Every structure is written in C-alpha cells, then in structure tokens.
Amino acid sequence: MDTIEVSNLNRQFLFRKSHVGQSKAKVARDAVLRFRPHISITPYHANVKDPDFKVDFFKQFNVVLNGLDNLDARRHVNRLCLAADVPLIESGTTGFLGQVTVHIKGKTECYECHPKPAPKTYPVCTITSTPSKFIHCIVWAKDLLFAKLFGDKNQDNDLNVRSSDATSSSEHAEDVFERKKGEGIELYGRRIYDHVFGYNIEVALSNEETWKNRNRPRPIYSRDVLPFEQIQQNGNVDKNLVADDPSSVSAMASLGLKSPQDIWSLKDNSRIFFESLKLFLVKREKEIGNLTFDKDDQLAVEFVTAAANIRASSFGIPLHSLFEAKGIAGNIVHAVATTNAIIAGLIVIEAIKVLQNDANSYRMTYCLEHPSKKMLLMPVDPFEPNKSCYVCSETPLLLEVNTHCSKLRDVVEKIVKAKLGMSCPLVMHGSALLYEVGDDLDEDMVANYAANLDKVLSGFPSPITGGTILTVEDLHQELLCNINIKHREEFDEEKEPDGMVLSGWTQSPVKEKNDNASINNGASASHAPSQAVSLEGKEGASASHAPSQAVSLEGKEDSEIEIVPVGTGSIIPGKKRKLLDISEDTVPDLSSITDETSSKNKLEEIDDDDDGDDDVVMLDDGCSDGIKKKRLR
C-alpha cells in the first residue's frame, strides 16, 4: 500500500513529481509498459501479508524478487517462498553499499538461516533523565514529547514527572499537557517549554546520586531565552499561504529561516519550538490527537529538531542542524541512484539465471563503497542451508520458562510472535489445540482461546511442564516448529527481562554507532505496509524495473528505534556471520570464506529499507514445470 513521496524522486527512474501520492505499484507498471508495451504486469496496491497472498499465490511464479522495507515482511515472504518452493532473490541498498542474494529451498541458505540485527533500544531512564548523545534527545523529542503533544494524549510516558518519587510531584504535573480553557497559545507554549526543559530538569537534579559521575544538566526556562513579548511577536503565520496543504506549513518560513543546514542557536531553536507549536494549533488543529511523526512532515521535523536541540543544550550535547536531525529522526541514509541501478541490474541477472535453471552460476554479489583491488562488486558462491535454522531445517527450539508462573499469553506474545515472527500462530500441546487465530472462528472458540491465554502453563488439563513439547505453526506462512519446554525457577530480571529464554533462535548483538549514522525504522518503516507487484510474461525477466531502496546495514539498527524499560536492553547473543573479508593486502579467496574469517573491513548484509520503498516482484517465464537443481558448491 506504499505511495510515492517527494523523497523517492531522486533515487529511482520510474517516478516523477506528478506521481507524488499515487501507488508505487501502479505507477511502476505504467512506466514499464511505456517501454515494454507487450508484457503483462499486474500491480497490487496491498499489504504483502494480506490473506490474498498466501502460498498458493506464490506457487504460480518461477521467482520472487524482494525489495521490502522491514525485517518482518522479508521474513514473511521468505517463509512463503520456502513453502511454495519458489526461488527468492533478496536485495538491499544503503548509500553506496548494496547486495543481491539468491535463496533456493534445500540448496542455499534461506533469508533467516543467520541472525539479523536487533532493533536499537534505549532504556527509558537514559532517554528521560540522562541523555549523553544527540540521538537520545531525538528519541525523546520524537517518541515522547511530539507523541504526547500531538498524538494520543492518554498514552503513558515519562514526560509529566521525572523523579524517584513521582507521587510527590503529581499535583504539579497533573494535566500539564492539556491546554486549559481560554488559555492563549503563547501561554500554553510557555508552560510546556518551562515544564519539560526547566521543571523536569530540576526534578532530575534533585537526585544527587545520579550526577556523581555525570555532568549536571542546566534547567532552561523560556524567560531566560525568549522574553514573553518576543514569543508573542515570534513569527508570521500568514507566510504559510497554502492553508489546505499541511505539508506546506513551516515554522522556518514564518520566521524567515532558510537553510536547513544551519545550526540554530538556542534562541532560534526556542523560536522554532514556539512557532511550530503555534502552527500545529492554528493550521492543523483537526489532526492533533492522531498525529505520528513523519520524516516528510516539514513542521513535525522542525518541532522535533528544535526540541531535541534545546534538550541537547541543557545536557551539554552539541547541537545539530535540521538536515542532520531529520536524517537521524527519519532513519535516512541518503540514497544513491547509481547504487540502486547497479543492484537492480544484478537482481535481473540473477533472475535470468534462475529462469534458465543455471544453478552453478548463482552468486551473492556485494556492492562496495570503496574498491578493493580495483573491484567494487564482490561475487560470492551462495552458502548452503544452516542445519540449525528453525525455518528451513525444522530444528527444534528450547524454551526455558517458569511453567508455574508464566502464562500462555507470555509465550505467544514474547516468543511466537515477537521472536519467531509468526503473524497467525496456532499452538498445540500434543493433540490439544491451545490457541488459534483466524476469521473463520466462532465466538465460543474465540472466547475459549482468549481464556487459554490467561492460563498458567502448568494449569492446563494436560500440564505444560519441563520435558513437554509445544508445536507452533503459522498457517499463512506454512511454517511449523517444535519447542521443547524446560522448567526453570528463576531468571535475571536485567539480563532476561522476558522471564524466559529461547535457544536455537538467535539475534545479532546491537552495536553502538555514531550519532549521525542512520537509525533505521523501518517500523516505522517497520510498520509501512508492503506492496506486491507481479510481472507475468516471458519478457518480464528483462524488464529493467527492479526495486530500488535505501536500507540499513547489518550491525546497524534494522528497525525503528524502540524505548525499553531499564533492564530490557539485553539481547540474546548470536554469532554474526562474516560474509566477506576484504584485506588491504590480498584479494580474498571468495570460494573459501568461512564463518571464522575476520578483518578490519567486513561486508555485512543489508536488511532493511529506510525510506519505505517496498516491492515484491514475481516473474513467471511461462514454464510451470518443476525445476530440479543440483546442490551448490
């Protein structure tokens, strides 16, 4: 269901300015048909996880080309391709880097054979009380302050009070974000400003233990930065002439600030803060209560930039320009059209090999930013399936859990859905069906399964205890795996916050990174719906339309930034596979790369889009007969 945005126009060759707001799938079809009018293309402006796109849908194609923008959708398509026994060609780009990989059931590793990077998480206390990096201020401004002011005001977050004894200050903080009846916009803005940048900082400073080994922040009040008279005379709302177009509203325009690459002073950031707040209340009042941050919403980016910079100033963190802040808040790695074109070409080359059943020529190819021995493209023979992969090798998993305390809901939400990525799960214990989802369930069944979710594992008629086996299945993905249960009494609340540990399933450890680097969302990209585009006809393989996308590197954040409570930042350790070694002194022997290789420069697989470009392309060359393939080297 993805639509074309202005930011998409500089990274690909099918869309034009007149297409902004239209379906990517439909516009892409029209563009391709202009230079290949005799091929058949069926566009689907829909979510790839919709029930319409089940295994039978995938079985009609000879190859699937993936260009999705989030890990969840990629895993979903990977499983459908395995179930349908259809080859999958994965791809991704970020800036100058990119890769194309081929996945054949039983012959090469599947997309999930090796761990993908975990979403970047930050403890709540770091975000709300002790930020040390600009990214912390961005997360605070975007996910807490912006959401509190313009999103659902009933949501709980830690902005009202930051102290060890919140009850002592609850009277002061009560309804602080609610605009009082008859309260002027300037007074309301000043009250919010003083609360979040002044009062909350003073409350945090009252805990002396926190600041023994940290630099103490400075409370900032509006009266010290911008006298009330200047707030009243701050901007010229009339400069935002196109009242019916929310995207045209800009605090920078009102204030006469032009360059997004300038680093604003504390005073200018405060002016932007007040002006953007006023514009939301005056020009976009109907949207308040339902807004979520969008990197293409100019006013939202201006507000978040200003708020993050004011907070950064309080904590002695260097300020950033709007251009830099937008890149961090919007998870943007600026795309390079040339890289996208190279990767698109490589996708087509591998697709042709698959359609010609040329298994010995399959390659996983990586595009480098800097040449190594005059090479920018590094081909690698595909790896064989990982025998311990629970997706393609059906290896049993082990779940350590306190069966006397944990409920079935904990297992379904924290393990089956969150870690195994099943969207329509079914849970069985022996022949007993404990949980199921589906549109065809009657009310009694729904009520029964809902009641089961709140039962303790050992409390079922056939108790789930140590030594028993749960079978979990996703009917849409046609994926089934067994989970061996091991009873365990106690868990470390900090290192094992879920109160259970899954073995045989691994995530890559999260790495720290530079503040200016992209933090991928996908979903938020993570939450972007995925569109499916099917191409049918013999000439489809030669069409030059291949997905172009900007995605994050493995080792960087793979999804949206997530704020987690203290103690939940631990990631189950997983060994990250080094796909390619690039030595400064020698050309690597690409045919003998192993998991144990190491060097200063490691090429890592790109997993996720940052910009919401998401496409699945299916090709049918007219040959529906099964294709037998030899085991790859």
Angle at which helices 266-283 and 298-314 cross, to 10°? 140
Quote the pLDDT of residue 39: 93
Query: What's the maximum distance between 2 C-alpha atoms anywhere in the chain?
Result: 78
Closest CA to 208 of 168, 173, 172, 164: 164
Q: For all residues of the chain together, what is the average pLDDT? A: 76
In order of 327, 346, 615, 620, 628, the CA distances from 538 in angstroms are 41, 19, 20, 7, 20
Tokens 């930050």 found at: 122
Q: Which residues contact 592 (CB under 8 A, 6 or more apart)?
A: none
Q: Output the known binding site for ATP.
A: 8-11, 24, 69-74
Alpha-carbon radius of gyration of the chain: 26
Angle at which helices 266-283 and 185-194 cross, to 10°? 130
**113 in a structural domain:** yes
CATH number for position 290: 1.10.10.520
Number of domains the chain is built from:
3
DSSP state of 511: P
Q: How far apart are CA 161 and CA 174, in angstroms?
A: 9
Quote the pLDDT of residue 263: 94
Neighbouring-strand partners of residue 533: 43, 617
Q: Are residues 311 and 438 in the same domain?
A: no
Domain span including residue 275 = 124-158+181-226+249-330
**Residue that is last in its domain, among 478, 503, 528:** 503
Identify whether the C-beta of residue 550 lies closer than 8 Å to the C-beta of residue 93: yes
**325 in a structural domain:** yes
Predicted TM-score (pTM) of the model is: 0.61
DSSP state of 564: E
Quote the pLDDT of residue 27: 93
**Residue that is last in its domain, among 503, 535, 564:** 503
Quote the pLDDT of residue 560: 42
Q: For the residues 485-514, what does the mean pLDDT come to?
A: 73
Closest CA to 617 of 93, 86, 105, 97: 86
CATH number for position 110: 3.40.50.720
Q: How far apart are CA 123 and CA 562, in angstroms?
A: 9
Q: How many CA atoms lie within 13 A of 625 on its CB side?
A: 5
Q: What is the pLDDT of residues 114-128, one digit of tens each?
A: 877 665 666 677 888
In order of 70, 215, 324, 523, 559, the CA distances from 519 in angstroms are 13, 26, 12, 11, 8
Q: Are residues 303 and 409 in the same domain?
A: no
- H-type helices in 356-441, by residue range? 408-410
Q: How many CA atoms lie within 13 A of 517 on its CB side?
A: 14
Q: Are residues 460 and 496 in the same domain?
A: yes
CATH number for position 463: 3.10.290.20
Q: How far apart are CA 532 and CA 248, in angstroms?
A: 31
Q: What is the pLDDT of residues 25-76, one digit of tens each?
A: 999 999 999 999 999 999 998 888 888 898 999 999 999 999 887 788 898 9
Q: What is the pLDDT of residues 3-33, one digit of tens each?
A: 787 767 877 788 888 888 788 899 999 999 9
Identify whether the C-beta of residue 501 lies closer than 8 Å to the C-beta of residue 583: no
Q: How far apart are CA 186 and CA 179, in angstroms?
A: 11
Quote the pLDDT of residue 365: 93
Exposed (0-12), middle (13-18) or buried (19+): which is 12, by Cβ within 10 Å?
buried
Catalytic residue, candidates 125, 137, 367, 481: 125
Identify whether the C-beta of residue 3 lies closer than 8 Å to the C-beta of residue 23: yes
Contacts 24+ apart (CB under 8 A), 189-192: 189/231, 189/273, 189/274, 189/277, 189/278, 190/222, 190/228, 190/231, 190/274, 192/149, 192/277
**176 in a structural domain:** no
Quote the pLDDT of residue 7: 66
Q: Are residues 137 and 195 in the same domain?
A: yes
Q: Output the known binding site for Zn(2+).
A: 110, 113, 389, 392
Residue predicted with more confidence, 172 or 434: 434
Q: Which residues contact 500 (CB under 8 A, 6 or more apart)?
A: 399, 400, 401, 402, 406, 410, 411, 414, 415, 491
Q: What is the pLDDT of residues 557-567, one digit of tens each?
A: 333 444 544 44
Q: Which residues contact 253 (CB under 8 A, 6 or more apart)?
A: 239, 240
Quote the pLDDT of residue 247: 62
**76 in a structural domain:** yes
Residue 232 confidence (pLDDT) above 80 = no
Element (H, E) at 56: helix 55-59
Q: Are residues 367 and 485 in the same domain?
A: no
Closest CA to 76 of 94, 53, 60: 53
Q: How many CA atoms lie within 13 A of 8 on its CB side?
A: 26
Q: What is the pLDDT of residues 270-300, one digit of tens each?
A: 999 999 999 999 999 889 888 889 888 899 9
Q: Are residues 278 and 153 in the same domain?
A: yes
Q: Are residues 375 and 253 in the same domain?
A: no
Q: Are residues 422 and 484 in the same domain?
A: yes
**602 in a structural domain:** no
Q: Which residues contact 231 (CB under 8 A, 6 or more apart)?
A: 186, 189, 190, 222, 274
Q: Are residues 405 and 269 in the same domain?
A: no
Torsion of CA 190, 192, 193, 198, to 10 degrees: 120
Q: Which of 6-10, 279-283, 534-538, 623-627 is predicted with the least confidence, judged by mean pLDDT? A: 534-538
**Residue that is last in its domain, among 345, 380, 415:** 380
Q: How far apart are CA 276 and CA 189, in angstroms?
A: 10
Q: Which of 225-229, 367-371, 461-465 is predicted with the least confidence, judged by mean pLDDT? A: 225-229
Quote the pLDDT of residue 129: 81
Quote the pLDDT of residue 498: 85
Q: Are residues 210 and 282 in the same domain?
A: yes
Q: How far apart are CA 103 and CA 81, in angstroms?
A: 9
Q: Which residues contact 24 (CB under 8 A, 6 or more apart)?
A: 2, 3, 4, 8, 15, 531, 613, 615
Q: Are residues 128 and 109 in the same domain?
A: no
Quote the pLDDT of residue 48: 87
In order of 388, 412, 419, 469, 470, the CA distances from 396 in angstroms are 9, 17, 15, 9, 10
**579 in a structural domain:** no
Q: For the residues 594-608, what does the mean pLDDT come to?
A: 44
Q: Which two tokens stand for residue 594?
A: 């192993």
Q: Is 424 a catalytic residue?
A: no
**607 in a structural domain:** no
Q: For the residues 510-534, what does the mean pLDDT come to?
A: 37
DSSP state of 319: P
Quote the pLDDT of residue 310: 97
**614 in a structural domain:** no
Backbone angles phi, psi at 44, to 5 degrees: -125, 110
Q: Are residues 152 and 111 in the same domain?
A: no
Q: How far apart are CA 65 and CA 49, in angstroms?
A: 16
